[in-house]
Amino acid sequence: MLTALAGASGTLIGLGRPNTVLAQAPAPSTAALIGNAGHYRFQVGDIAVTVLSDGLIGGPPTVYAGDANEAELEEVLRRAFLPTDHMTLNLNTLLLEVGGRRVLLEAGAGGTMGPNGGRLFDNLAAVGLSADDIDTIVISHTHPDHVGNLRAADGGRAFPRATVMVPRADWAFFVENDPDLSYMPVPEEFRRRFAANIKESVEPVANGIEFYEAGDEVLSGLTTIAAAGHTPGMAAFLVHSGDDQLLLTADLAYHPVVNIDRPWRPGPDRDQDAAASARRRIFDRAAADRTLVLGFHYPFPGLGRILRTDTGYAWVPAGWQF
Ligand SMILES: [Zn+2]
C-alpha cells in the first residue's frame, strides 16, 4: 500500500491522484516500451490462473518495517542488494478462470499511488483480454492500491460488467465513515489523500457492491481467510481445486526481506497485535502444508513458499515455469 514518499529530501511526491489527472489520457505503457512480460500463467488443479502485474509502488523502507531498528534495517537491505532509501513493491493481481467465469483477485492501484501503477489493462490485453471480460473482482481490503483501478479515467466503472466483492468491515471503516488514520506512520496530507482515494476509487461500483465476511467461500474454488489487523476486514485468499492450493497473503507482508525473513511489522497495520497473530497463524499453516504462496507486493510474479526456521520464517521463491 503506502508509497511515493521521497527519501532523503523529505519532499512528498505522488501522494495520490489529484482530481485533475482523472481527465487526462493515460501515459504510454512501459510494457509497450520495454516488452518484459507482466503476466505469468499456471494451473491450480483445474483452475487456470494468471498473475497480472499492475506495476509498482514504493516508499521509505521504515514505513514497511515499522518497528525495525534503523541501522539493522539498512544492513538487511544492503545484504539483500536493495536500496536503503526506497523500497519497491509490486502489484500482483491474479486472474482466475474457473467454471466459465473470469475472476480478478485485487483490482490494483491504478494512479492512486504514484505513476507506475495502472499497468493491469495492458497486461490483460497481453493475454488477449480486456476489462469487459472480467465477471467478478474480489478485494482483500480496501486500501487504494487494491481498489484504485475500479474507477475509470472518466469516473465510470473501469470493469463495466464486473461484480465487486469487498470485506464488509473494511467498507464500514473506510467508505461509510471518515476513518481515523492517525495510526499510519505518514504525514497528515498523505493520510487525507489516502482516505479520499479509497472513496473515489469505489464510488463507481458502490451501487451493486457485494459484501463478504472473511472466512466465507465466496466462489467455488475461492475461500477467504480471516486476516484482520492490517485493516478491520482484511482477508487472505485460498484458491483450491482438487488437492492443489494457492494461498494469497494479501498485505500480511509487504516485502519478504523485511516481513518474512525478518519479523518486522508493517507500520500501516492498524491493529498491530491482531496483524501479527494473523501473520503467524497463516504463515504457520502455509509452512506446515508447504502451500504455494502468492504475495500481492512481493517481487513479480510473487510466488514461493514459506519455510519455518528456528527463529521465524524464510521466503523461498518458486522457480519460473515455462
Ligand atoms: Zn497493499
pLDDT in tens, 132-166: 999 999 999 999 999 999 999 999 999 999 999 99
pLDDT at residue 179 greater than cutoff 80: yes
- pLDDT for 192: 96
Residue 76 CA to ligand 1 center (angstroms) comes to 22
pLDDT in tens, 261-306: 999 999 999 999 999 999 999 999 999 999 999 999 999 999 999 9
| Grid cell of 284 as nine digits | 504457520
Residue 142 CA to ligand 1 center (angstroms) comes to 9
SS3 state at 89 = strand
Q: How far apart (Å, rounded) are the C-alpha atoms in residues 182 and 188? A: 8
pLDDT in tens, 39-98: 999 999 999 999 999 999 999 999 999 999 999 999 999 999 999 999 999 999 999 999
Q: How far apart (Å, rounded) are the C-alpha atoms in residues 312 and 307? A: 9
Q: Is 279 a member of any domain?
A: no
- pLDDT for 322: 87
Q: Is 254 a member of any domain?
A: no
- pLDDT for 29: 55
Overall domain count for the chain: 1
Residue 108 CA to ligand 1 center (angstroms) comes to 9
Q: Is 13 a member of any domain?
A: no
| Burial class of residue 247 (count of CB atoms within 10 Å of its CB; 0-12, 13-18, 19+) | buried
Residue 217 CA to ligand 1 center (angstroms) comes to 22
| Burial class of residue 311 (count of CB atoms within 10 Å of its CB; 0-12, 13-18, 19+) | exposed
Residue 198 CA to ligand 1 center (angstroms) comes to 12
Q: Which domain covers residue 48, as residue numbers?
A: 36-243
Residue 117 CA to ligand 1 center (angstroms) comes to 12
Q: Is 303 a member of any domain?
A: no
Q: Is 145 a member of any domain?
A: yes
Q: Is 319 a member of any domain?
A: no
Q: Is 22 a member of any domain?
A: no
Which CATH number belongs to the domain containing residue 109 in this structure? 3.60.15.10
Residue 65 CA to ligand 1 center (angstroms) comes to 14
Q: Is 256 a member of any domain?
A: no
Residue 4 CA to ligand 1 center (angstroms) comes to 13
Residue 251 CA to ligand 1 center (angstroms) comes to 5
Mean pLDDT of the chain: 91
Residue 286 CA to ligand 1 center (angstroms) comes to 20
